[in-house]
Structure 1
Amino acid sequence: MSDKIKQLAPQIWSEIQKANHILLCCHVRPDLDSVGSNLAMKLTLDSLGKQSTLISGDDPPLDSVKFLKSFEEIESRSFPQTELQDYDLFISIDISAPSQITRQTELRFPIGIKTINIDHHKTNISFGDINLVENKMISSSEMAYQLIYQNNPELINSDIATCLFVGIWGDSGGFKFEGTTSETFATASDLVKRGAESWQSVSKLTQIGFKNILVFGKTLSLAQNYFNGGVVITKIPLSYFLEQDITGEKVSDTKNTVAFFLSQCTEAVITAVIYEYEPRRINISLRSNNPNKFLDVTKIATAFAVGGGHARAAGAKIENSTVDEAEKEILKTIQKIYPDLGQP
């Protein structure tokens, strides 16, 4: 159990107890950890009789986790569309900075209501009134588990356990990423004991549609290596998705599958998937998964105006660009940050 969580848990639960209406929000382009940890917290608050609202944020909630309890209660609206005067506490989970809450406007904290910041990203800027940041943990869902456990272990029923398991599984890369510890496995084990639908959830989350497979195959076939094979990059222009009528969350699903397989390349120390999710709006997914040589990809991601993440898995966004232009920027940035890799 984290000493920091032990220290701050009483203060956090005290603020929750005092609050009348609590706001929760998924981060921009929410992943499994974002949805899982926030849904688990909402279910916990519900069981305590606290009024709470979970909003999707800028982007729609992930359809792939619609099997999770209370998924349908996630309200599809952004943070700027929310009347903050209706709330007296904002619990920000799995969000490293205000730019991850919304990109529709520039948020400046404090925002007029007390904010509890619960996160595991090393790039977290501690923007809350209470900042529970534990970057040695693999996921915010693992943090949420410990926080709820500190209050009352019996609060973690099968529905909450499933949400937390999904979040941990997602951010640990299926328990493969560095940072997955014995405590992570112990947490997962306890969640299964408490009724988490573990294998059932993983089975649902790893399904992929035929159209996604077509884009997946085409994209992998176009992968290129640079820096004497040390960097492998592939690109997915928007046209690839449109050809197969892939939109919304399915775009992210395809990217995640490509990013996973690309990261398994034995020669590469850095892999990148550059994809266009809207016209001239580029997302870059970076990985460093080589067990023999590790490079911190957050250094690359944070070189861009919008970027962050973890040492082995990070991302960045580029506006008003093409995938080819973004590739040139990525290569230039990698060469600048890691000159020992040589020439592209």
Structure 2
Amino acid sequence: MININKQAISSFVDFIKRSKNIAIFTHTNPDGDAIGSALALVSMFKQLNIETNVIIPNYVPENLRWLPNFETIHEGIPKIEVEKILQSTDIVICVDFNQASRVEKYTQILNGCDKPLILIDHHTNPQLKAEVVFSYIEVSSTCELIYHIFKHIPIVKANVDFATCIYVGIVTDTGVFKYSSNYISTFQTVIDLINLGIDKDTITQNIYNTLSENSLRLLGYSINERMVVLDDLYTAYIYLSSEDLKKFNYQPGDTENFVNYPLSIKYIYFTALFQERESDIKISFRSVGSFEVNKFAEKYFNGGGHKNASGGKSYKSLDDTINEFKELAKKHAKEIINSKK
């Protein structure tokens, strides 16, 4: 078990005990770790009869909408409604992000919030100012961090709803234990969650085997028509234009895990997925070995994340973004090629 700062725990408990209403923010385009973290907290606060509102800047993917306490989530609501929620809120908790810009259209609201902030996150370089900070990178996910935090908080008790949400964050942020999971504590946590009664197989089925027909057809199209392999750079990428996405009636979450497929090719160590949106290009990066895509994303593409799994965005055209990516892959070719040695 990781060593959680005792003073931070004590301060967090004090804030919880004084609270009747809590607001939880996750980042834009929330993944399983963001949603799992928020709803795991909700399950704990329910035991204390604390009203909790989870605020998300846009929408939750279909494969996560079955989670317990999902009804507490507000998706993409107008800023005025967020401000109204915060008026009656005692504390604000930010999970799975550490920069206010990650909530995009709510950034100004979060920066101007006069309520105590609690930060719970496992990414590098926290920049969000908060009264209580839990920032640890030695865990698989924010969900795992939350599990360790609440092992030190006896006023609530872990239950199967809490455990289910925690497992969702762990299994999604590790790509079903393919990366960011080389910690003994991660697997000990999973054992604990199974002992609490989670149905591990059903959870995994709900997350990964509930694709729509359109999503599956989009995957086939992406690999067959939109995947480019740069053999000499041990790199591959997939690109999807706005027209491509429209053709397959794209819904949030439909391209989840697409970026991972090129990594199944022998001698491909670095992959990217480019998706054209109305205002920018959304980018996902994956790698194996020592090549750190979080630093790559942060330096070149307004992003960040984990060593082997990160994201970013570009405000250039799709073609210009891809050309920039290819030039950067050439620049870092030696690091990429040697990343598994």
Alpha carbons of structure 1 residues 210 and 63: separation in structure 2 relative to 1, 3 Å? closer
Deviation at 1:3, TM superposition (A): 1.4
Shift, 1:139, TM fit: 0.3
Identify the residue that residue 239 of structure 1 maps to in structure 2.
243
Deviation per CA, 1:74-129, whole angstroms, max 9, x where unpaired? 12245844123322211111112101123455467463111010100013224212
1:329 is matched with 324
Residue 223 of structure 2 is aligned to residue 220 of structure 1: yes
C-alpha distance in structure 2 between counterparts of 1:337 and 1:153, whole Å: 50
| Residues 134 and 78 of structure 1: CA distance in aligned 2, closer, same or farther (over 3 Å) | farther
Q: What amino acid maps onto 2:217 in structure 1?
A: L
Residue 253, structure 1, aligned to residue 254, structure 2: yes
Decide whether the 8 Å contact of 2:57 with 2:105 is kept in 1: yes
The whole-number CA distance in structure 1 between the counterparts of 2:328 and 2:106 is 27
Counterpart for residue 119 of structure 1: 121
Q: Which residue of 2 aligns with 1:187?
A: 189
Unaligned runs of 5+ in 2: none
3-state SS of paired residue (1:259): helix
Corresponding residue number in structure 1 for 2:294: 298
Do the aligned partners of residues 112 and 337 (structure 1) sit closer, same or farther apart at CA in structure 2, a change above 3 Å counting? farther
CA contact (8 A) 1:141 1:168 kept: yes
TM value normalised by structure 2: 0.90
Structure-1 residue corresponding to 2:313? 317
CA contact (8 A) 2:100 2:128 kept: no
* Alpha-carbon distance in 2 for matches of 1:37, 1:341: 32
Counterpart residue identity of residue 244, structure 1: F
Q: Residues 5 and 200 from structure 1, CA distance in 2 versus in 1: closer, same or farther, beyond 3 angstroms?
A: farther
Say whether the 8 Å CA contact 2:227–2:238 is kept in structure 1.
Answer: yes
* Partners of 1:172 and 1:180 within 8 A in 2: no
Query: Could you tell which deviates more after superposition, 136-145 or 225-234?
Result: 225-234
Report the TM-score, using the length of structure 1 for normalisation: 0.89
| Cα 1:33–1:188 shift into 2, 3 Å | same
Identity of aligned residues (%): 23
**295-304 or 24-33, which moves further after superposition?**
295-304
What do residues 214-255 of structure 1 show as CA deviations (whole Å, max 9, x unaligned)?
A: 2111211232223714211121112122112223x2xx332x
C-alpha distance in 1 between matches for 2:76 and 2:17: 26
Native 8 Å contact 2:238 2:259 kept in 1: no
Gaps of 5+ in 1: none
Q: Quick one: which of 206, 209, 214 aligns to 1:211?
A: 214
- Measured in 1, the distance between the counterparts of 2:179 and 2:335 equals 25
Distance 1:193 1:137, change over 3 A: same
2:104 and 2:336 mapped to 1: Cα distance?
A: 35
Q: 1:158 aligns with which of 157, 160, 171?
A: 160
